[in-house]
Amino acid sequence: MKLWNQFSKSLALVAVIGAMGMTSIASAHEADCPYCKLKLVQNTKELDNEVVVKVGNKRIEYRCLYCVIKDQKRYKGDLVVYSPSEKVGAPVILKRTGGKWSAPEGAVFLNTFKKHKDCAALSRAFTNKAAFDSYIKKNPSEGAKALTLDQFLAEVAKN
């Protein structure tokens, strides 16, 4: 009986420590955007929202594509941005190499948010114009137009 009580206490301790570890892992993903300081918007089954920047071995999450571009001076050298697209699990990959930005051929961008709390839905990348049109049909936004990468960069620079 004494052995059983000791075993039960040990098992309970392992369960508590394990639960604490799982909690810190789960909450570690929920953070604030390094640029705007608003909470990151998590992916859903229907739509990816997480914007990820990779600089060397670092992986930094942002709330939207606008925040990445506004905060790019923070990083020296080359970087890669994984921007959510219309396809879950298939980001539009942007690269800054030697200070010059590039995007896949045909990619278009949206940047129409008025309040930053809406940026994750209204500052995005799409693999092509048809995907952009489909997204805007489901998520209407006043003044929405498909931007090239250069137009998107210029739009963000003036805000």
CA distance 33 to 140: 25
pTM of the model: 0.79
Segment 18-23 shows an average pLDDT of 45
Q: Contact 52/45 with Cβ under 8 angstroms?
A: no
Asked whether the predicted pLDDT for residue 6 surpasses 90, the reply is no
Q: Per CATH, the architecture of 30-158 is what?
A: 2-Layer Sandwich (3.30)
Q: What is the pLDDT of residues 92-115, one digit of tens each?
A: 999 999 999 999 999 999 999 989
More confident residue, 4 or 90: 90
Asked whether the predicted pLDDT for residue 12 surpasses 50, the reply is no
All residues at 6 or more sequence positions from 47 whose CB lies less than 8 Å from its CB, including other chains: 84, 88
Nearest Cα residue to 77 out of 64, 92, 58, 93: 58
Asked whether the predicted pLDDT for residue 36 surpasses 90, the reply is yes
Mean pLDDT of the residues in the chain: 86
